[in-house]
Amino acid sequence: MIYPFYRSARATAGLLTALGLAWAPAALATTALAPAAGAQQPRGTARVTGTVRGDNGQPLVGAQVALTGTGYGAVAGDDGRYSISGVPAGTYTLRAARIGYTPVTQQVTVGDGQTLTVDVTLTASATTLTAVSVVGYTNEQRRDISGAVSTVTSSDIQDQKVATVEEALRGRAPGVQIAASGQPGRPASIVVRGQNGFGNPSPLYVVDGMYVGQQNPNINPDDIASINILKDASAAAQYGAQASNGVIVITTKRGANGPSRFALNTYYGFQQIPKRIPLMNAAEFQNVFKAAYAAAGQTPPAGVSGGASINTDWQDALFQRGAIQNYNLTASGGTTSASYLLSGSVLDQKGTVINTDFRRYSVRVNSDATRGRITVGEALAISQSNQRAYPNGIFGGQALPLIDVVSLLPTIPIRDPNNPGGWGYGSDANPNYGVNPVAVLTNNSNRTRSNQVIGTAFGEVKIVGNLRYRLNLGLDYNDLLHRVWTSSAQVRYLTPVLTGASLFQEQPNTQQLLYENLLNYDGTFGGGNHRLSAVAGQTSQNNSYQQLSAFRQGFSNEQLQQLNAGSTTGFTNGGFYTPFRTNSVLGRATYSFKDRYLLTGSVRRDCSSRFSPGNRCGQFGAGSIGWVVSEEGFWKGVPMLGSADFFKLRASTGVLGDQNIGDLAYFSPVSQNINYVSNGPSGATVISGGATQTVLANTDLKWQRNRSTDVGFDLGLFDNRLSLTADYYVNIADQLLVQLPLPGSLASDRNPFVNAGKVRNAGFELGLTHRLDRGDFDLNTTLNLTTTANRVVSLGNGGQPISSGFGDVGVARTAVGHPIGAFYLKETCGIFQTAADVTAHKAQPRAQPGDLCFVDQNADGTINDQDRVFFDNPIPKVTGGLFFDSHWKSIDLGLNFRGSFGNKIFNAIKFATERTTGLSNLRAGYNPWTTSNTNTSTPRAVFGDAVNGDPASDRWLESGNFVRIQNVVLGYSIPQRLLSSMRISGTERPRVYVNLQNLYTFTKYSGYDPEVLGFGDPLARGVDDGLIYPNPRTITLGLDVRF
């Protein structure tokens, strides 16, 4: 495998010789670098030679020795020896460096013809390049990784005072887009390197070796030691078909050798909605709608024409000051042969919207022990969480309180004793059809309780040398109870709840078991020139999902919110059990030759029960290569780049599978107890029971295949204080698993999956880190940027587009040649100013001056859905983060920014507050066109006008660009001398801090929050669709104590 590198190295040598540099391949001999014949720098007759060793006395192969400020240098050979020849007489500064060791400099003086021997000893030191990352089944030094892997450590996220893992990751890793909601306990949406299909885009989570699927593992962020995001096929292929969207590998903290230690981390904070929508008061609202009714030639209702005796601020009634508090206690310790860690945590969050909250209790036990050749250990997390989320509104549908809160009239009271149930809502005087959000959130409830266990246990035996056998066992068990209570109280105009109060209750139960048998090898040979880390083995997953559900209505006593208290009229009971299994064999090897040439290969064969027997198994694999160019002898002579301490080129490619289709998708079930009508022997009509196939399925379903290609480099400068990582990636998802739309005449309960379509994602990633150390002051700066370009290359079913977003309107469409979920809207062309403008346009003959002008795209003289066009910007083109973390003596200060650019958002709040189609409140400053006010982008106000308020219009698109001050933290570590003066002993400099999150967002977006999550529809990511819960501004005070 070295030969191709050698050939390229020889070619490079020829190029460098042409540039005036002579070079001999360092992989073959001790290398000396000196100006070639014809170079301008004079040659001398002196020689500097010696041996470079580590602090353990062993020779350091590949150590770089140079006379700084000159072109003279060498690379130590296999025996650690170096030789620099042709040195002119004089005094120089000799510098010796090796990755993973502290550089050494010393002054040397040589005379003409002298051979000076200078032996150097380097001391090992921890650097980012020698840090070990958990890359799935292998542990690798950062310098040896040739795939695309981002690492986030516990210190990176310790100041993020959030409830979920995903929230803490925002802006931290290039290539990772995260959209979070402010709803307590709701997981964020994570997309790694673009969306590869039409289903769930979330990556696979692996916690301490346990696969937990594409869902938030709901673990305590304080328990996390590191998070590694595997982004390309080379890094992720070891996880096979479950890794098509990337992998997030979470490693939790463990004990260390030493006496028992305790740590207390606690904080308490206040939260609030950082922005409210400015709305009209009662008098302003009435004035606008009086004119709107007059323009329509209609008589306004009493609530518009009468006096404004009521002036309700619905946002004041719905929003509250939230709170978040956390208490985490950890005990850890160990010996040279055993260690333990115990932790317990309570997190409690009261939402910024009334009657929403989240509470989690968690306990963790991690331990390991070694005796002789045998090591055993476990990582166990037990948690219970309780969440109260947005409840249902009317007709069993999801409540949308932040749409109702801006559309309800200020002339409607919150409570009205004259109404059934006592709540205020629309009336004949105020014919508004909004749902009272205060009533819904007070009377109704949506509660989820989760009891979860995530654990792994392992046993490892050293067989011989560096070869080990490892048995892994894993469990992810989650017992859920979900209750949705809907009161009988009327909360909307002309919409009484005739069936009475209702209760829906379900108990989903998931269990995932993992069994793995692995052989691992980690070692060096050939005098340290060869380093190999490899794993091979078998892994099996046995998953099951079962659910019981029941629905009751007609409760006569709403205080008894139990199933047995409901009526049997209209009741339903249900339940099912679904198994899912995978069996796999895998292999992965990472090889390094002389710390210069890197090779990684992964292969995995997966067999999944989600596919029919003939198509259950698929083979997937990937490989990557790397070249640490800076370890070559010629490196120091390369113009401009030669001053760099580290430079690595890398490339990877591979294929991953995807089985994200749910269970039994290839199966066609037969439903029983289906009645049918026939004629009996006497000709009479007979109703008989029978069975029929209710679902059409595809028995030839195959694996989706995602091909990933990545090229990049890693660069270290100034003793690696400045590091740069850059990547260009292309991901192509082929044979997409798509649900084929079927006509209703086929009577299929669901659309079958087919292998059709192709999606392409491409982009650049940049990560820049700088470390500044000036005595008592140090500053770490991190910048990362990501670009993403997503495009649908082909679709099945003749390329038929897929519509989604904003109910039946379908403001987003997935179609060939466009991004997933591109906006599909009518394009506006301004406002008609005169009747002549209307006549000249021709396609809107009924329009009046002041109405919106729409582009007649197909020139047929009519404006309809055939005139919709694509707006290809639902996904941010550039995302990034900028982080400053500094310390000065006992004070620490952190400042974090996060930004997103290049996308548009369909704004449901704007649609609700800037039209007069129906009677609803309006945004303050609403400025409609009039004959005396023509310099405006808002059309004239005409009550009932559906054209100017058309939802399928680009009028509702706004820029989604934003820069957010994500986090500001100021901390103070109490000096030991102050603790001693206070007679406090046994603690390690307690730290107190104040933390501000989501301090301010720079954006032109007029909605609550440009960070859109909504219903989480992967085919409508750019639609702020109504299920809004803004990210709160949080101010916390905290204390960290170790003793």
In a domain, 19, yes or no: yes
895-901-904 Cα angle (round to 5): 135
pLDDT band at 127 (very low <50, low <70, confident <90, very high): low
In a domain, 85, yes or no: yes
pLDDT digits (tens, 9 = 90+) for 385-410: 999 999 998 888 889 999 999 999 99
Percent helix, strand and coil across the chain, each to the nearest 5: 10, 50, 40
Of 252, 286, 302, which residue constitutes the final position of a domain?
A: 252
The terminus-to-terminus CA distance of the chain in angstroms comes to: 52
119 and 138, same domain (yes or no)? no
pLDDT of res. 463: 96
Assign residue 120 the CATH number of its domain.
2.60.40.1120
What DSSP assignment string belongs to 392-457?
Answer: B-STTPBP-HHHHHHHS-TTS-SB-TTSTTSB----SSS------HHHHHHH-EEEEEEEEEEEEE
pLDDT of res. 131: 62
Ranking 210-219, 227-236, 814-823, 955-964 by mean pLDDT, the lowest is 210-219
Give the pair of three-digit tokens for residue 949. 């308020």
Give the pair of three-digit tokens for residue 606. 């997966």
As a whole number of angstroms, the distance between CA 538 and CA 514 comes to 11
pLDDT of res. 724: 94
**Which range marks the domain in which residue 691 is found?**
667-700
pLDDT band at 958 (very low <50, low <70, confident <90, very high): very high
204-207 and 685-693 beta bridge pairing: unpaired
143 and 196, same domain (yes or no)? yes
pLDDT of res. 129: 58
Sole residue written with tokens 């009327």: 490
pLDDT digits (tens, 9 = 90+) for 606-641: 999 888 888 889 899 999 999 999 888 788 778 878
Of 700, 723, 746, which residue constitutes the final position of a domain?
A: 700
Of 222, 252, 282, which residue constitutes the final position of a domain?
A: 252
In a domain, 86, yes or no: yes
Assign residue 242 the CATH number of its domain.
2.170.130.10
As a whole number of angstroms, the distance between CA 204 and CA 212 comes to 7
Give the pair of three-digit tokens for residue 771. 């470390």
Sole residue written with tokens 């109703």: 687
Q: Is the dihedral of CA 59, 62, 63, 65 positive or negative?
A: positive
pLDDT of res. 475: 97
Q: How many domains does the chain have?
A: 3
145 and 80, same domain (yes or no)? no
In terms of average pLDDT, the best of 86-95, 219-228, 276-285, 770-779 is 276-285
Which residues, 6 or more positions from 798, have their beta carbon under 8 angstroms from its beta carbon?
Answer: none
pLDDT band at 128 (very low <50, low <70, confident <90, very high): low
DSSP state of 300: P
Mean pLDDT of all residues in 271-295 = 96
Give the pair of three-digit tokens for residue 243. 């890794």
As a whole number of angstroms, the distance between CA 383 and CA 262 comes to 21
pLDDT band at 451 (very low <50, low <70, confident <90, very high): very high
119 and 198, same domain (yes or no)? no
Closest CA to 641 of 151, 81, 21, 8: 21
pLDDT band at 71 (very low <50, low <70, confident <90, very high): confident
The whole-model pTM stands at: 0.87
In a domain, 499, yes or no: no
SS3 of residue 956 by DSSP: helix
Mean pLDDT of all residues in 789-793 = 96
Q: What are phi and psi of 1012, to 5 degrees?
A: -95, 130
140 and 246, same domain (yes or no)? yes
In a domain, 647, yes or no: no
Residue pair 73/97 in contact by the 8 Å Cβ criterion: no
- Asked whether the predicted pLDDT for residue 1034 surpasses 50, the reply is yes
Residue pair 771/778 in contact by the 8 Å Cβ criterion: yes
Mean pLDDT of all residues in 180-201 = 90
- Asked whether the predicted pLDDT for residue 297 surpasses 70, the reply is yes
In a domain, 854, yes or no: no
In a domain, 296, yes or no: no
- Asked whether the predicted pLDDT for residue 25 surpasses 60, the reply is no
pLDDT digits (tens, 9 = 90+) for 525-559: 887 789 899 999 999 999 999 999 999 999 999 99
Give the pair of three-digit tokens for residue 489. 């109280």
- Asked whether the predicted pLDDT for residue 174 surpasses 70, the reply is yes
In a domain, 482, yes or no: no
108 and 150, same domain (yes or no)? no
112 and 142, same domain (yes or no)? no
94 and 149, same domain (yes or no)? no
Ranking 356-360, 608-612, 810-814 by mean pLDDT, the lowest is 608-612
- Asked whether the predicted pLDDT for residue 841 surpasses 80, the reply is yes
Write down the mean pLDDT value for the chain: 89
Determine which helix (DSSP H) or strand (DSSP E) holds 511, and give its type and residue range: strand 501-525
Mean pLDDT of all residues in 33-50 = 63
Closest CA to 472 of 545, 427, 537, 546: 537
- Asked whether the predicted pLDDT for residue 579 surpasses 70, the reply is yes
pLDDT digits (tens, 9 = 90+) for 321-348: 999 999 999 999 999 999 999 999 999 9
Mean pLDDT of all residues in 56-73 = 81
206 and 242, same domain (yes or no)? yes
- Asked whether the predicted pLDDT for residue 100 surpasses 80, the reply is no
pLDDT of res. 133: 66
136 and 108, same domain (yes or no)? no
As a whole number of angstroms, the distance between CA 319 and CA 445 comes to 17
Q: Is 972 exposed, middle or buried (0-12, 13-18, 19+ CB in 10 A)?
A: middle
- Percentage of the chain surpassing pLDDT 70? 94
pLDDT of res. 23: 36
185 and 245, same domain (yes or no)? yes
90 and 146, same domain (yes or no)? no
SS3 of residue 308 by DSSP: coil
pLDDT band at 956 (very low <50, low <70, confident <90, very high): very high
